[in-house]
Amino acid sequence: MIVLRLLVVALLIAVAASALAWVVTGNRRYLQWIGRIARFALAAGVLIALLYVAERLVLR
């Protein structure tokens, strides 16, 4: 669980840094990075949720 929490913190820091870079520079490339980070986070979250459900079904 600690690894998941660290990943969430790292994702939040990456999104905040990209948003700040976009605000400072106005370069839309940083918005694309935020989109990629969000898609990665969503995919990782779904994968982790599926693994959790599979574990619960196996241990039942």
pLDDT in tens, 8-53: 999 999 999 999 999 999 999 999 999 999 999 999 999 999 999 9
Instruction: Please give the residue range of the domain that contains residue 30.
Output: 2-59
Q: How far apart are CA 58 and CA 43, in angstroms?
A: 23
> Using N-to-C axis directions, what is the helix angle for 2-25 and 29-59, rounded to 10°?
170
What does the pLDDT read at residue 56?
93
pLDDT at residue number 57: 94
Task: Tell which residue, 1, 32, 51, has the closest CA to residue 40.
Answer: 32
Q: Count other C-beta atoms under 10 Å from residue 18's C-beta.
A: 19
Q: How many domains are there within the chain?
A: 1
* Close Cβ partners of 21 (under 8 Å, ≥ 6 residues apart): 27, 30
> Can you give the pLDDT at residue 4?
85
The model carries a pTM of 0.79
State yes or no: pLDDT of 1 exceeds 80. Answer: no
